[in-house]
Amino acid sequence: MLNVRLFQMKSFIPMPYEEALAPRLKIADQWLQSGSGKGGEFTGWVNLPRDYDREEFDRIRAAAKKIQSDSKALVVIGIGGSYLGARGVIECLCSPNYNLKKKDTPNVYFVGNGLSGDALYEVMELIGGQDFSVNVISKSGTTTEPAVAFRFFRERLVEKYGAAGADRRIYATTDKARGALKSLADRQGWETFVVPDEVGGRYSVLTAVGLLPIAVCGVDISGLMAGAAEMMEVCRRGGSDCPAWRYAAARFQLYHTGKKVEILGSFDPSFRFMAEWWKQLYGESEGKEGKGIFPASVEFTADLHSMGQYIQQGERILFETVVRMGPSGHPMAVPRDESDGDGLNFLAGRDMDFIRDRAMEGTLLAHSEGGVPNLIVETEDKSPRSLGQLIYFFEYACGLSGYLLGVNPFDQPGVESYKKNMFALLGKPGYEELAGQLKARLENQ
């Protein structure tokens, strides 16, 4: 089972803080469990691993098998919570080089998460003449980035398969009853999956939003959900033994001692996009009302040779959370070199896990001595079950953290600001007055 350890923490925060925070954590926990706190209408993810729609789950697996049988590529179109979680799981469990590997499952390309014509064109070139399908993910269907990308790839499908053939290769994950994408999907007869009303985008990886592309890659989504259900039961019991309570409490206390930036690190390069998912989860949930810990991420040991200097001796506003996902599937022992020209024969016969773990311990000791507190999040292994535990752990701790901070962990009002300006500058009807104001500001900058 997942565990959270506080590393060399006594010199940074007094240990009895857990007892002092326990009453507040209990209230935050009750708000999550009952849905009675701020944004409670978006806490459907809390019991999701137990209450998810089994019929839809079976349809997800059937759709994944169909895509595997008739497509060499799946284009996943979404932004933010509509793609980060799925990409994180796929890269963590299947490899960052998934598309380059020899396999029986389709390549997966993520688009609609930016506004680069070069990026769209490149994916089209990579697909080439291969058979492909599209999974478009949007609650409304009108979010600019994915909606624009979908126009391009839908047109490509129609050119290749005809209108009727294209309709059989489009899978829409959207609102259950309304919205532009839902209406279009019903009209065209696309297979649809639901973005639940009570689950916000950044908490949606364990819904059809994440599960369909994850299943297409051959990941055991039943194992993923089973692990999440195990962690759900641990969090339901709460208390000082609950890893989500420990993590949320330590983060809150560190924040109030001036540690305003949390760095999430891992010694496994495949964890990179799980860290990207985590950054959205915590940044969008906590960063409001002039409050919040800034979430950043690093890849160790690579970033010890780039960001390591700042972490060790820069401004002391940082704390560090390191995720260690158990032993490698291929630990690999260092070979002996008779000449020992590089002086590394003292490592001969040692496997890479042993070297990694000593590097991790040395890093944490150095950083704590340099004034950076450390938390360690450990899983038993790198499996769907363990990753399901980790996802739910981070989600639950995020909800607790937001309530401890006194903000709504489930809204994101600041995200709309750039959209209004973008619409106005692009000439969208209804934004004419704002467009004039913005153009004047640009001219006078």
Q: Catalytic residues, which ones?
A: 284, 419
Residue pair 17/253 in contact (Cβ under 8 Å)? The answer is yes
What's 377's DSSP letter?
E
Residue 269 to residues 109, 272, 304, 334, 345, Cα–Cα distance (Å): 19, 6, 13, 19, 25
The whole-angstrom separation of Cα 389 and Cα 87 is 17
The whole-angstrom separation of Cα 39 and Cα 432 is 33
The HSE-up count of residue 70 (CA atoms within 13 Å, CB side) is 13
Paired residues of 76 in beta bridges: 110, 135
Residue pair 157/170 in contact (Cβ under 8 Å)? The answer is yes
DSSP for 181-247, please give it: HHHHHHHHT-EEEE--TTB-GGG-TTSHHHHHHHHHTT--HHHHHHHHHHHHHHHHH-STT-HHHHH
Single-letter residue type at 64: A
DSSP for 293-361, please give it: PEEEEEETTGGGGTTHHHHHHS-S-EEEEEEE--S-SS--BPPP-TT-TTS-GGGTT-BHHHHHHHHHH
The residue to which tokens 């969008």 are assigned: 284
Retrieve residue 134's tokens: 């599209």
The whole-angstrom separation of Cα 154 and Cα 157 is 5
Q: What residues contact 237, with CB distance under 8 A and at least 6 apart?
A: none
The residue to which tokens 């309570």 are assigned: 245
